[in-house]
Amino acid sequence: MRVNKRALIRWKVYVDRSKMYIGYINLFMMVTIFLGAIKNTEIGKFLIAHVYVAIPILIILFMLFALLLGYWDSRLGIRSEEMRNLSSQNPVQMEILTTIRKLKENQEVLLEKINKIEKITK
């Protein structure tokens, strides 16, 4: 049986792209379970009694926490290092990088030759 490699790669990309949306669904389910678990506690009763105030406050706290995590990730460079490692394992990106390096080397050689010609003609 012959496997269509392009189709498998395309399906993998689709699954990878869907992870973010699945994460949102997962977050909603966890919040629902968490609220169900604490509804009989004092905090849960307070949240349920003041739901119109509690939900916006919880959303704001969640957004602040998410922004803080994103800021830490940006400061520490975790995601960029991960992407660098992933791209170094991608043969297409490595080929592009090699080509760019060769072009840069050739550009430097050509600039040196142009400078020599300009010196001779002066």
pTM, full prediction: 0.50
User: For 67-79, how does the pLDDT look when each residue is reduced to its tens digit (9 = 90+)?
Assistant: 998 888 888 888 7
Ordered by start, the domain boundaries in the chain are 90-122
User: For 13-41, how does the pLDDT look when each residue is reduced to its tens digit (9 = 90+)?
Assistant: 888 888 888 988 998 898 889 888 888 89
Candidates 24, 32, 30, 36; CA nearest to 66 is 24
Length of the chain: 122
Cβ-proximal residues to 58 (8 Å cutoff; 6+ apart), any chain: 47
Q: In this structure, are residues 38 and 44 in contact, taking their beta carbons and an 8 Å threshold?
A: yes
Q: How far is CA 41 from CA 44, 45, 57, 103, in A?
A: 5, 6, 19, 67
